Homo-oligomer: A and B are copies of this chain.
Amino acid sequence: MKRQEEYRVIAEFSTHPLGEGTSLSRYVRSALDELRKATGVRLLVNPMGTVIEASSLQDVFAAVQAAHERVFKEGASRVAFTLTVDDRRDKRRRMEDKVAAVS
């Protein structure tokens, strides 16, 4: 098994288009479209962001970049986002394991 299949990076992405009104679901849906097209990622949407699990940080960044550019393509001219990353290399785990461990 290759290393990138063992240790998974788990991240969370949240986008805030600024100046596009208070209803932003259209932009978030478009960003999610791009995340879903990204290579090697698993996604879990929650009310405050999207959790991304990937084989590498590069894959997380590529997915986020595509999602971020898409929000501009949808018409936004200023976009803020937050990306939090949890990269653990002493133990194999998937995103479900993190929730199971605290339940």
Question: Are A88 and B78 also in contact (CB < 8 A) when A19-B21, A32-B102, A51-B48 are?
Answer: yes
Measured CB to CB, the closest approach of chain B to A59, in angstroms, equals 12
What is the CA–CA distance of A14 and B41 in the complex, to the nearest angstrom?
A: 22
Instruction: Give the interface SS of chain A, mostly helix, strand, loop or mixed.
Output: mixed
Question: Are A65 and B72 also in contact (CB < 8 A) when A22-B19, A84-B48, A101-B25 are?
Answer: no
A29 touches B102 (CB 8 A): yes
Closest to A15 in B: B85
Contact partners of A51 in chain B: CB under 8 A:
46-48
A interface residues with partner B (beta carbon < 8 Å)? 10-12, 14, 16-25, 28-29, 32, 44-49, 51, 53, 57-58, 61, 65, 68, 72, 77-91, 95-96, 98-99, 101-103
29 contacts across the A-B interface (CB closer than 8 A): A12-B47, A12-B48, A14-B84, A18-B20, A18-B21, A18-B22, A19-B21, A22-B90, A28-B101, A29-B102, A32-B102, A44-B47, A46-B51, A47-B95, A47-B96, A48-B86, A48-B98, A57-B65, A58-B65, A61-B61, A68-B87, A77-B88, A77-B90, A78-B86, A78-B89, A80-B84, A81-B87, A82-B83, A83-B83
